[in-house]
Amino acid sequence: MAVNAAEQRTFRHLPGYFNARQQAELLLHIKDILEIAPLFQPVMPRTGKAFSVRMSNCGPLGWVSDKERGYRYQPTHPVTEEAWPAMPKLLLDLWLREARYPAPPEACLINLYQEGAKMGAHQDRDEADFSAPVVSVSLGDAAVFHVGGRKRTDPKVRVTLKSGDVLLLEGESRLAYHGIDRVIAGSSELLARCGFAEGGRMNLTLRRVTGVG
């Protein structure tokens, strides 16, 4: 029998983990972070093709990508070359409560989906330690997310991620292929209300990059 994340459901979906007030608080904190660490548009290694998602980071390390040096984590913003801002306490508390891992997260990747942005199927393999979970928070417009197995061809399940939802990827699902098929534009007013004129969806992913000890 095939063994994969989709069938075993080794991910945990916690719908409505953050209430409306907490979602707004978190988003306003991210807005402050983006003033210091502005969104950038990463490009893929070798091809130089731009991602449709714009990104930034907070925490000691941030995920970046460019044509020459590829996917990596680094302590500074690729354009300003300044250190990344600190992670909001709400996110550190989420990790403490839910990650079941003996060290704090090192990176929080901020993904902004606007104007039809999506993310094709991929594995997250740029971290040194896969025993730590990935913890994701969705804000704003809902999105159709898919997760399969360690092989690209493994069967997938689809989950709609809504504003305030948390998704934990641990065990077998940590190395599963996954992606965002589409964002359901206009399904939430959160981003537009908090000063992102075009609305859209924001996703925050908390990660341990280096492992423990």
- Where do contacts with ligand MD3 occur on this chain (CB under 6 A)? 109, 111, 119, 124, 134, 136, 145, 147, 167, 169, 173-174, 176, 178, 180, 203, 205
Taking the least distance from each CB to Fe ion, the nearer of 114 and 136 is 136
Whole-number Å distance between alpha carbons of 213 and 206: 19
By beta carbon distance, the residue nearest ligand MD3 is 203
Q: Which of 119, 113, 120, 105 lies closest to 212, judged by CA?
A: 105
Whole-number Å distance between alpha carbons of 33 and 198: 19
Whole-number Å distance between alpha carbons of 212 and 97: 18
Closest approach of ligand MD3 to the CB of residue 161, in Å = 7
Q: Looking at 1-9, 51-59, 124-132, 196-204, which segment touches Fe ion (CB under 5 A)?
A: 124-132
| Binding residue count for Fe ion, defined by CB under 5 A | 1
Taking the least distance from each CB to Fe ion, the nearer of 94 and 134 is 134
Q: What is the 3-state secondary structure (H, E, C) of 133-188?
A: CEEEEEEECCEEEEECCCCCCCCCEEEEECCCCEEEECHHHHHCCEEEEEECCCCC
The answer to whether residue 124 forms part of the interface with Fe ion (CB under 5 A) is yes
Taking the least distance from each CB to ligand MD3, the nearer of 26 and 109 is 109
Amino acid at 209: V
Q: Looking at 12-20, 119-127, 141-149, 187-195, which segment touches Fe ion (CB under 5 A)?
A: 119-127
Torsion sign across C-alpha atoms 38, 49, 199, 178: negative
Taking the least distance from each CB to ligand MD3, the nearer of 12 and 24 is 12
Taking the least distance from each CB to ligand MD3, the nearer of 29 and 172 is 172
Closest approach of ligand MD3 to the CB of residue 33, in Å = 16
Residues in touch with Fe ion (CB under 5 A) = 124
